[in-house]
């Protein structure tokens, strides 16, 4: 038999006072909005990548890629406490110093710029047409791997943004 005393209830309520704090709720709403906005670009890239596959494989590639990407995002969230501590300058160039976190963000951003440029070039030059013989060139697992890598890069950006906001609200 479990006996709940008045003191135990008061102790629980004291530890849950954060629920009534409006700044916590404002922070949560802000984080949700940021995740939605940052997630849109991820969906655009997934749609572009899946479009390279034959129609019969597109849905499977999206689902497989997103499931693997979700696992990657969970691993990233689990290691975020380590990532945000990577602020010690590794490289100093004149007045600028770069930490490991800065370099991760820099190379992730450069990769996204490269990928966007390649995709836009393919579309503008007509290399990615509706010709079925060209669509057969895209390999299922290559597209899924690109989806996972792109999601990891987009996740890194949004997770660091979220952690920065959480540190700000403390």
Is 18 part of any domain? no
pLDDT of residue 60: 92
pLDDT of residue 134: 45
pTM of the model as a whole? 0.56
Model confidence at 31, pLDDT cuts 50, 70, 90, reads confident
Under 8 Å between Cβ of 105 and 157: yes
Q: List alpha helices for the chain, DSSP H.
A: 6-15, 22-50, 55-78, 80-83, 100-125, 132-135, 140-169
Under 8 Å between Cβ of 24 and 169: yes
Q: Does pLDDT of 133 surpass 50? A: no
Dihedral (Cα; 124, 116, 151, 85), 10-degree rounding: 180
Q: Domain range holding 55?
A: 42-169
- Provide the number of structural domains found in the chain: 1
Tens digits of per-residue pLDDT, 56-104? 899 999 899 888 888 887 887 777 667 767 788 989 988 889 888 788 7
Is 57 part of any domain? yes
Question: What single DSSP character describes residue 99?
Answer: E
pLDDT of residue 120: 82
Q: How much is the mean pLDDT over the chain?
A: 77
Model confidence at 162, pLDDT cuts 50, 70, 90, reads low
Q: Does pLDDT of 146 surpass 80? A: yes
pLDDT of residue 21: 80
Is 129 part of any domain? yes
Is 97 part of any domain? yes
Q: Does pLDDT of 168 surpass 60? A: no
Is 35 part of any domain? no
Is 21 part of any domain? no
Report the percentage of the chain scoring pLDDT > 70.
73
Is 150 part of any domain? yes
Question: What single DSSP character describes residue 18?
Answer: G
Is 119 part of any domain? yes
């Amino acid at each position: 038999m479990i006996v709940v005393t008045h003191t135990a209830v008061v102790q629980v309520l004291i530890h849950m006072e954060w629920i009534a704090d409006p700044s916590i709720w404002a922070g949560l709403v802000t984080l949700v909005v940021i995740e939605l906005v940052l997630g849109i670009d991820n969906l655009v890239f997934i749609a572009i990548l899946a479009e390279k596959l034959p129609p019969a494989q597109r849905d499977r590639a999206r689902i497989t890629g997103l499931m693997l990407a979700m696992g990657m995002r969970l691993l990233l969230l689990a290691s975020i406490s380590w990532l945000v501590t990577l602020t010690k300058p590794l490289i100093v160039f004149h007045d600028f110093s770069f930490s490991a976190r800065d370099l991760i963000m820099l190379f992730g951003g450069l990769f996204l710029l490269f990928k966007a440029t390649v995709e836009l070039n393919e579309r503008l030059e007509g290399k990615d047409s509706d010709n079925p013989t060209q669509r057969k060139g895209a390999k299922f697992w290559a597209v899924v791997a690109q989806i996972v890598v792109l999601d990891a890069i987009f996740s890194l950006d949004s997770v660091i943004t979220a952690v920065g906001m959480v540190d700000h609200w403390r």
